[in-house]
Amino acid sequence: MERRSLTATIFVYAAALLLAAVILAPVVWLFIMSISSTTDLITKPLRWWPETIDLSRYGVLLSSVANSAGQAFVASLFNSLEVAGMATAAALLVAVPSAWAVSRTPAIGWSLYAVIATYMLPPVALAVPLYMALSALGLLNNVFGLALVYLTILAPFTTWLMKSGFDSIPREIESAATVDGARLDQILRLITLPLAAPVMATAALFAFLLAWDEFFYALLFTSDQRAKTLTVAIADLAGGRVSDYGLIATAGVLAALPPLIIGLFMQRALISGLTNGGVKG
Amino acid sequence: MTSNWITTRAWLLMLPLLIVMIAIIGWPLVDTVRLSFTDAKLVGTEGNFVGFDNYVKMLSGSNFQRTLITTTLFAVLSVGAEMVIGVLAALLLNQQFYGRSILRALMILPWALPTVVNATLWRLIYNPEYGALNAALTQIGLLDAYRSWLGEPGTALTALIVADCWKNFPLVALIALAALQAVPRDITAASMVDGAGAWARFRFVIMPYLAGPLMVALVLRTIEAFKVFDLIWVMTRGGPANSTRTLSILVYQEAFSFQRAGSGASLALIVTLLVTVLAVAYAALIRKSAGAT
């Protein structure tokens, strides 16, 4: 191991502190805003730590009193869960068989490139016809309609991830089972899919995060509590005339919690996914 | 089993995906092309064929040119800063120090924060009356009077770039760090025995390992930055005085705010073409850097 001089050591620690501060300051500030009283947030000079800790906004947002800010927030929370859940399940359903097929059949490998290429498409290229179609089908402002549209993002993405997952499972295992007389459905059910379970879980989490994060289509295709997702609800709060900045911050904290928890616990899987596929730019 | 049957079986397994992709990606894309040659409105009229009118109107308009410049500026500056800061952070995280694993774990925070929450957070930080940035700069004496960071054309784009950079440089850092960890110890040790300085070591020993992964990150980030919508919509909606209006915002306004589906579609296809050019350049660059190492 390289031995460092004292100056170099001090420099490394100073840089590490700076990096930690840059990363943490905005996140910590979001949390502090959410627990500060409104008066603390609008005094000058600004108080960096609240006089008394005020957790009431969490109660306000998570309450289900009719026509309250909480009811709208909770509704959007459930919409986000529903849309992201349905879109993730549907994406895996179509992605797993095709990813396996592409992985085991090099002759159709080119079709994967076509799938990946669509992932690069800007959503604006599809938005107008999708809007007109959803409108004609009566699926505007509808969680099923939005989940269907989310497949445009999640289906190519999960196929891509699952394909590299199947690639890492040796096909010799499948050939051996074929020699032993197993049928294809038995091989897939008893051997390949159980081996691919961790990759499927990673793909599902990634897909869920993508759907949870989505804003553009949700902004276009939803208009009220029946389908509005969390991202749209937060953008409404941020852009509206809400004078309580703490409430906006609280909504942000609550929306950020699921992905942050997934991110911290799934660190290793996420990073290997990031570096292998260079995914989610 | 014949290879013919295996290929047929593969296509059958792909059928559900293909049907979905044709229905929600293929058909809309083709329909966008059709719409781009009409004067259709978003609701109501079907529209008449108008040839290349929409394209001519859009490409010659000053809106498009100015928006293209803003988008390019945003993409180049934010991705450039993310690459530089990301690599520096990765070099740091590759050193030995106490708390390194905690710091590495923290890097996932900005990446995991939803884009809209990130935009909202920075909007609050930049708030002209009560924002943390104004408060911090005034309290340490760097600023005399509170400023409207997002409200002035001179600072709005920079403020957006900072917010984008904060969220995305950790991703570059994590990718670069994974590449750095693949550099064999004995090579760096040997280069030091040979008397290579820090810069020479970085340039000739470490950089070849970084180049490939960084190239992937660079182009993926550039394409993402070129398509940017969420961050800008939540923070400025393209304002003030359209100084932060990017291409995606312009398409949104044309097709949905003004409900001009035809010209909106033509603009969307121009953006798609630009992104495709970037993506093709991406494939070529990656193939080249893969061949080089």
Measured between CB atoms, which of B29, B106, B130 is closest to A42?
A: B130
Residues 51-90 of A with CB under 8 A from B: none
- Residue scoring higher pLDDT (A49 or A140): A140
The verdict on a CB contact (< 8 Å) between B92 and A19 is: yes
Determine contact: A257 vs chain B, CB below 8 A: no
Residues 37-66 of B with CB under 8 A from A: 42-43
- Residue scoring higher pLDDT (B239 or A228): A228
A64-277 to CATH, choices 3.40.50.10090, 3.40.50.2300, 1.10.3720.10, 2.60.120.260: 1.10.3720.10
Which of A110, A124, A222 should we substitute to test contact with B (largest number of B Cβ atoms within 10 Å)? A124
CA distance A62 to B184: 52
Three-state DSSP class for residue B38: strand
Determine contact: B198 vs chain A, CB below 8 A: no
Range of the domain at B151: 61-292
ipTM for the whole complex: 0.91
Residues pairing with B38 in the sheet: B49
- Residue scoring higher pLDDT (A146 or A120): A146
For residues A27-44, one letter each, b for 16 or more C-beta atoms within 10 angstroms of the residue's C-beta and e for the rest, the string is bebbebbbbbbeebbbee
pLDDT band at A280 (very low <50, low <70, confident <90, very high): very low
What is the structure's pLDDT at B1?
Answer: 57
CA distance B197 to B208: 16
Which residues, 6+ apart, have CB-to-CB distance to B164 below 8 Å? B74, B78, B82, B225, B228, B231
The verdict on a CB contact (< 8 Å) between A151 and B276 is: no
The verdict on a CB contact (< 8 Å) between A16 and B92 is: yes
- Residue scoring higher pLDDT (B143 or A83): A83
Mean pLDDT of A120-137: 93
Determine contact: A259 vs chain B, CB below 8 A: yes
Whether B268 is in a domain gets the answer yes
Counting the structural domains of chain B, the total is: 1
Nearest to B13 by CA among A182, A94, A199: A94
Residues 227-266 of B with CB under 8 A from A: 227, 229-230, 233-234, 237, 248, 251-252, 255-256, 261, 264-265
Determine contact: B25 vs chain A, CB below 8 A: yes
Measured between CB atoms, which of B20, B92, B256 is closest to A155?
A: B20
The verdict on a CB contact (< 8 Å) between A98 and B224 is: no
CA distance A238 to B117: 9
Q: Check pLDDT > 50 for residue B149.
A: yes
Q: What is the pLDDT of residues B29-40, one digit of tens each?
A: 999 999 999 998
Q: Check pLDDT > 90 for residue A231.
A: yes
Least confident window among A13-27, A192-206, B187-201, B237-251: B187-201
Whether B37 is in a domain gets the answer no
Whether B43 is in a domain gets the answer no
Q: Check pLDDT > 50 for residue A279.
A: no
Whether B264 is in a domain gets the answer yes
Least confident window among A111-115, A159-163, B244-248: A111-115
- Residue scoring higher pLDDT (A132 or B290): A132
CA distance B215 to B194: 29
Q: Any idea where the domains of chain A sit in the sequence? A: 1-54, 64-277
What is the structure's pLDDT at B239?
Answer: 82
Measured between CB atoms, which of B113, B135, B174 is closest to A260?
A: B113
Measured between CB atoms, which of B27, B192, B217 is closest to A278?
A: B217
Q: Check pLDDT > 60 for residue A276.
A: no
How buried is B154 (Cβ within 10 angstroms: 0-12 exposed, 13-18 middle, 19+ buried)?
A: exposed
Spell out the alpha helix ranges (H) of A62-170: 69-104, 110-120, 124-137, 143-167
What's the predicted TM-score (pTM) here? 0.91
Whether B45 is in a domain gets the answer no
Nearest to A92 by CA among A147, A143, A135: A147
Contact B249, B71 (CB under 8 A): no
| Closest chain A residue to the Cα of B237, Cα to Cα | A239
Q: What is the pLDDT of residues A64-74, one digit of tens each?
A: 777 777 888 99
Q: What is the pLDDT of residues B111-136, one digit of tens each?
A: 999 999 999 999 999 999 889 999 99
Q: What is the pLDDT of residues B206-235, one digit of tens each?
A: 888 888 888 888 888 999 999 999 999 999
Q: How far apart are the first and last CA of chain A?
A: 34
Measured between CB atoms, which of A12, A102, A235 is closest to B92?
A: A12
CB atoms near residue A150 (< 10 Å): 25
pLDDT band at A273 (very low <50, low <70, confident <90, very high): low
Q: What is the pLDDT of residues B57-94, one digit of tens each?
A: 889 888 899 999 999 999 999 999 999 999 999 999 99
Q: How far is CA B25 from CA A125, A204, B126, B242, B248, in A?
A: 9, 21, 38, 31, 18
Distance of residue B32 Cα from the nearest chain A Cα, in angstroms: 6
What is the structure's pLDDT at B189?
Answer: 80
Q: Check pLDDT > 60 for residue B292.
A: no
Residue type, B163: A
CATH of the domain at B233: 1.10.3720.10
Q: What is the pLDDT of residues B239-271, one digit of tens each?
A: 899 999 999 999 999 999 999 999 999 999 999
Q: Check pLDDT > 70 for residue A281.
A: no
Q: Check pLDDT > 70 for residue A2.
A: no
Whether B13 is in a domain gets the answer no
